[in-house]
Amino acid sequence: MTTTDPLAPFQWLNVSENEGGGALGVIFSVAFFRGLDPAEVVRRFSRGQDSGHESDFGGLGEKAYEFIAETEGGYGGGYVGAFQDGEWCVAIEPDGWMATDHVVVTELSRGCEVLAVTRHDYAAEHSFEYAIDSTIVTSYRLRYPYERYGSDPDRLNGFMRELGMGLDKPEDDAAWDAAWEGNYYTAVPRGFALAAKVTGVPLTPDMLGRPMLVGPIVVGRRSK
């Protein structure tokens, strides 16, 4: 049976930790790049140090696990896997959040278009960043769509309204409570549904089975 629920295709990204966390777990980022191929995406994440090696999602997960064990998780998963989907390149960052770091996304988006979404249950800061040529156009925390930032924070309002997001800041306690209740459990699928509207690339579970280029993440790391 078909469904008209625009969030249904993205619920696989919203599985709670108590229910196993889903294929990507409860901490991950996905970035969409228009105008770059996978090798260039990996080079940008690695600041030119690596063009990636061919692998799969399992191999990416192993690299992230090893990195976390070595660094105690302070820098996320430390690796990204990239593959092409039409005119967009999709980059998956398991256990990481660098793709939606404000400084990092401006660096990654130099001369191109980048849209990134992070789920981070522990920090409770699910994030959305849309940047073009080193300028953040629209940015918001997924549970607070009424607090948008960037050079054009209202650029995506039409799509956001189509997805049922409340874009007006609540004015009283009852409105705040309603907004929190309405956004708390749906924030992640709404964020990825919005990404699909902008890019035309809906992230599906079968994409994790594609071959990808895997490389280290150097952007965003602080030297000790």
The answer to the question of residue 13 being in a domain is no
The C-alpha angle with vertex 199 and arms to 197 and 200, in degrees rounded to 5, equals 65
The answer to the question of residue 113 being in a domain is yes
| Three-state secondary structure call for residue 132 | strand
Between helices 187-199 and 173-184, what is the axis angle to 10°? 70
Element (H, E) at 159: helix 157-162
What confidence tens digit (pLDDT) does each residue in 29-86 have?
A: 999 999 999 999 999 999 999 999 999 999 999 999 999 999 988 889 999 999 999 9
| Three-state secondary structure call for residue 98 | helix
**Predicted pLDDT at 1:** 47
The answer to the question of residue 132 being in a domain is yes
The total of structural domains in the chain comes to 1
**Predicted pLDDT at 2:** 55
* pLDDT for residue 224 is more than 60: no
Q: Please name which of 95, 138, 119 lies closest in space to residue 16, comparing C-alpha atoms.
A: 119
* pLDDT for residue 7 is more than 80: yes
The answer to the question of residue 2 being in a domain is no
Cβ partners under 8 Å of residue 49, min gap 6: 43, 216, 218
**Predicted pLDDT at 168:** 87
**Predicted pLDDT at 154:** 98
The pTM (predicted TM-score) of the whole model is 0.95
Alpha helices in 46-101 (DSSP H): 57-71
| DSSP string computed for 107-119 | HHTTTSEEEEEEE
The answer to the question of residue 101 being in a domain is yes
Q: Please name which of 194, 193, 197, 219 lies closest in space to residue 80, comparing C-alpha atoms.
A: 219
The answer to the question of residue 8 being in a domain is no
Cβ partners under 8 Å of residue 20, min gap 6: none
The answer to the question of residue 112 being in a domain is yes
* pLDDT for residue 128 is more than 70: yes
The answer to the question of residue 126 being in a domain is yes
The whole domain housing 174 covers 26-216
What confidence tens digit (pLDDT) does each residue in 139-196 have?
A: 999 999 999 999 999 999 999 999 999 998 888 888 878 877 878 899 999 999 999 9
